[in-house]
Structure 1
C-alpha cells in the first residue's frame, strides 16, 4: 500500500451500494491467511467497511493489481527437521504520534516456516514504553504456550 495515501472517512464520495466493497474486503481478509504482506493494507481498508468511499475502492483495486503481479509470493511451509520455535516481537511507537495507539506485532516460526503472526493495535493505554513492551511480550508468550500445547497434542517435540 502506498504510504503517502491517507484513508479517511468522508461524506463526499460515499458509495451508493457498499456491498461489492464489503465482499472484496471479506475475500481479501481470507487471503491474508497466506499473504502476510497484505495484512496492513487490508486492515486499513477494513476499517471503512461500514462507510466506504470511492477512494477506498480505488485503493482496494490498486491492491488487486498488486496481487495480480505478485501471485508467486505467500507463506510457504518448507519441510524441515528442526522443530524449534522462534518468536520475534515489535511494538511500533511511530503510530503514537499519528493515531495515539501502539501497534504490536509478533511472528512465530517453527524451523524456517512462519506458523503464526499478529499485528494489532493495543487497546490499553500504558504510562510507559515498558508497559507496552510487556503487553506485546505477554501476548506472544500466550501464543507460544498455545502452539506448544497444540504441537504436544500432535506428539511433536518442540524446542523453545
Structure 2
C-alpha cells in the first residue's frame, strides 16, 4: 500500500522473482471486510457479514433501533437461564469480529461478553437489541481518509463503578492518527476503583501503553512526526496525578504499574490535556447513551454510511 504506483509495481516484480505470488489488484473483499471508495478515502464495511449474522439469528426482518444499548435497565431483572446458551455464545463471538469496522458496537458487545458463561433471558434481550441496531445501520462502516497530519492523539474515559453487579468501572479509549481512528477499547477494569479519579487514571495508563506501541510502530516506519502524543481526559484529578509526583492522598491506593503514564508525561512523550465531557469521544465506549448523543459521537469516530450502499 502506498502512493507511488511505480514503486509498488517494482516491489511486486522483485518479490515474484523469489516467491510465488499474484497481485489481486485493488483491494475489494477480504476476510469478510469490503473496501469501498468514498470521496478521497476508503470505507471498511462488513455489510455482507452483518446480513449473514442477522440471518443466523432469525432477525432479518426485525425492527431497527437507534442505539445498540438501552439507557434504562429492567426494574425486575430476569434470572431465568436462556434456553439456548450455545446460540447466544456463537452470536456474541460473531459480534466480536464485527467490532473491527464498527467501534460503535464495542461497549454493547463487551457487555454481552461478560455473560457468556451463563446467559439469562435479559441477556438475550440485550443481544437482540444490538442486532436490531445493526439492522438499521447495515450501510455503516469505518471511514479512512488521507490526513494532512500524522500526530497521534487519544481520548480516554471511564464510567466509575458502572457495573451494577461487581461495582467495577468500565474503561474506554479512542486513538487517532491524524483524523483517522486506528485503535479503540471498551473493557471492564480488573479491580475496583475507590474513586472516579482512580478509575480515570487506570484508563489513562491503558491508553498510554497503546499509544506507546503506536508511536513505536510509526517510528519504525519512518512516519512519526516527532511531536509528543496528546491524551484527552475529562477528569482533572487524573490529569493532576499525571503531573504531580507527590499527590499522595490520591495515589496511595493505586497500584504501582498504573503510574506508567507519569513517566511518559515527565519524559515529554505525552501531553495530557483536559477535555469537557460533551467533547469526550471515548464516552461512547463506557456507557449506554441516548440516541442523539450516541449518533453525534458515532459521526466523530468516522463511522459513516456509504452513499451508494
Equivalence map 1:11-90=2 (5 Å)? 12-15=80-83, 17-90=84-157
Query: Secondary structure of 2:207's match?
Result: helix
Residue 210 of structure 2 corresponds to residue 122 of structure 1: no
Report deviation, 1:108.
Answer: 0.9
In structure 2, C-alpha distance between the alignment counterparts of 1:8 and 1:51, rounded to whole Å: 15
Which whole-Å CA distance do the structure 1 matches of 2:170 and 2:133 have between them? Answer: 24
Distance across 2 between alignment mates of 1:59 and 1:95? 17
Rg comparison, structure with higher value: 2
- Alignment of 1:143 with 2:210, yes or no, is yes
Task: Tell me if structure 1 keeps the 8 A contact 2:172–2:186.
Answer: yes
Give the gaps of 5 or more residues in structure 1: none
Once residues 137 and 24 of structure 1 are traced to their aligned partners in structure 2, the CA distance between those partners, rounded to angstroms, is 31
Distance 1:94 1:150, change over 3 A: same
Deviation, 1:73, is 2.3
Computed over aligned residues only, the root mean square deviation of the Cα atoms, in angstroms, reads: 2.5
* Match of residue 199, structure 2, among 132, 136, 142: 132
CA distance in 2, matches of 1:42, 1:89: 19
Deviation at residue 105 of structure 1 after TM alignment:
1.6
Q: 1:111 to 1:60 in 2, by over 3 A?
A: same
CA distance in 1, matches of 2:223, 2:185: 23
Which deviates further from its counterpart, 109-118 or 47-56?
Answer: 47-56
- State the Cα deviation string for residues 96-153 of structure 1 (Å, max 9, x = none): 7775212222111111111111122222334444433332222111111100011122
Specify whether residues 133 and 77 from structure 1 end up closer, same or farther in structure 2 by C-alpha distance, changes over 3 A only: same
TM-score (norm 1): 0.83
Query: Following TM superposition, by how much is the alpha carbon of 1:24 offset from its aligned partner in structure 2, in angstroms?
Result: 0.6
CA, structure 1 residues 18+99, in 2 after alignment: closer, same or farther (shift >3 Å)?
closer
Aligned residues: 158
Distance 2:153 2:100 in 1: 19
Aligned to 1:2: 70
Partner of 2:179: 112
Once the two structures are overlaid, the 10-residue window that deviates more, 42-51 or 110-119, is 42-51
Distance 1:129 1:62, change over 3 A: closer
